[in-house]
């Protein structure tokens, strides 16, 4: 499969990371089919070492690396980041057996386009029902698109976990959605986290997305710098890659905001998460600003109340 666009810097980092990961896996004692989680953890630590220069020196004001890829029928955004929380804190928030589904609803609702989330784990169903809107504004649920995400605790070993959220269909004739998070311990107070957000589309889906980009998303950009022969300075990627980069960052900031809310009453924690998310998103106002703080906080308080009663 041939990519449409790709960052040379991203290619270089990926090649180096893959090389380190393969070397680490080859040298791992007892490597084999039953050692996959350990291999995954070793590979993720190898990627951390390869990305250290980019994590330490970037324009994000946090230890974060973001990239995207566009293929003829899929688009993918991914983030690697160091979060200043112990591994057990991150694991218990995103992969705790009894709480993961409910916690993920509390994470997802922070995204301005997510209007509702309901967790169902009856009979091992492990499903998140999520309503998505085209607009970053208050909207009735019957005007939104309902998606069914299946939660899968894909892998776990000491100091490592991986989860997947998958949905067969999405808005605008899109399909094969996947939100994947894996994390590895970097020591007592730090965790290295990898987030992937990807979805697919056919010809009708591509046309529908193009229509969305020309209307609701007109003039918006992502984070990756791309050369423009007609301009003195490199611009930012737009189109499908710009769209997937913005949403990947929104989901990452939701995870970060959720982790940053201290223990307390549920209403106090929600207020802190919303404030954390909005403040972080405003650091990237060119890409992410859609709504002012007061309107965002009010909208999300109402949406959170709605999802607790329906």
What is the predicted pLDDT for the residue at 38?
A: 62
Domains of the chain: residue spans and CATH? 56-309 (3.30.530.20)
The 10s digit of each residue's pLDDT in 137-196 is 899 999 999 999 999 999 999 999 999 999 999 999 999 999 999 999 999 899 999 999
Q: How far apart are CA 50 and CA 176, in angstroms?
A: 30
pTM summary value: 0.88
Task: Give the list of residues 6+ apart from residue 109 with CB closer than 8 angstroms, or none.
Answer: 116, 117, 300, 303, 304, 307
Q: How far apart are CA 241 and CA 46, in angstroms?
A: 26
Q: Which helix (H) or strand (E) holds 114?
A: strand 114-120
Q: Are 194 and 44 in contact (CB under 8 A)?
A: yes
Closest CA to 281 of 251, 242, 253: 253
Structure tokens at 94: 């995103």
What is the predicted pLDDT for the residue at 304?
A: 95
Neighbours of 163 (CB within 10 A): 20
Pairing of β 191-201 and β 145-157: unpaired
Instruction: Give the burial class of 29: count Cβ atoms within 10 A of its Cβ; 0-12 exposed, 13-18 middle, 19 or more buried.
Output: exposed
3-class secondary-structure state, position 63: coil
Structure tokens at 306: 């709605």
The 10s digit of each residue's pLDDT in 89-144 is 999 999 998 899 999 999 999 999 999 999 987 767 899 999 999 988 899 999 99
Instruction: Give the burial class of 180: count Cβ atoms within 10 A of its Cβ; 0-12 exposed, 13-18 middle, 19 or more buried.
Output: middle
User: Which residues are paired to 64 by β-bridges?
Assistant: 81
CA gyration radius, the chain: 19
Structure tokens at 121: 């784990």
User: Which DSSP category does 97 fall into?
Assistant: T
| Model confidence band, residue 9 (pLDDT cutoffs 50, 70, 90) | very low
């Amino acid at each position: 499969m041939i990519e449409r666009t790709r960052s040379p810097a991203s290619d270089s980092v990926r090649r180096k990371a893959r090389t380190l990961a393969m070397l680490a896996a080859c040298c791992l004692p007892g490597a084999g089919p039953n050692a996959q989680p350990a291999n995954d953890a070793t590979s993720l630590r190898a990627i951390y070492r390869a990305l250290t220069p980019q994590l330490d020196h970037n324009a994000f004001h946090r230890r974060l690396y973001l990239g995207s890829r566009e293929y003829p029928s899929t688009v993918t955004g991914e983030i690697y980041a160091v979060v200043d929380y112990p591994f057990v804190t991150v694991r218990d928030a995103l992969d705790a057996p009894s709480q993961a589904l409910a916690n993920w609803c509390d994470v997802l609702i922070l995204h301005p386009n997510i209007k509702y989330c309901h967790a169902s784990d009856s009979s091992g169903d492990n499903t998140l029902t999520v309503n998505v809107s085209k607009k970053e504004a208050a909207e009735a649920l019957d005007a939104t698109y309902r998606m069914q995400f299946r939660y899968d605790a894909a892998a776990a070993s000491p100091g490592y976990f991986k989860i997947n959220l998958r949905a067969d269909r999405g808005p605008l004739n899109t399909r094969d959605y996947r939100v994947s998070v894996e994390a590895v311990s970097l020591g007592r107070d730090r965790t290295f986290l990898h987030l992937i957000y990807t979805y697919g589309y056919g010809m009708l889906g591509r046309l529908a997305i193009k229509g969305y980009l020309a209307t609701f998303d007109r003039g918006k950009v992502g984070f990756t710098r791309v050369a423009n022969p007609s301009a003195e300075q490199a611009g930012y990627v737009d189109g499908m890659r710009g769209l997937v980069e913005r949403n990947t960052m929104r989901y990452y900031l939701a995870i970060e905001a959720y982790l940053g809310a201290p223990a307390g009453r549920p209403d106090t924690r929600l207020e802190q998460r919303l404030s954390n998310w909005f403040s972080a998103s405003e650091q990237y106002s060119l890409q992410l600003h859609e709504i002012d703080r007061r309107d965002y906080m009010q909208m999300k308080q109402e949406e959170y109340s709605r999802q607790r009663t329906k």
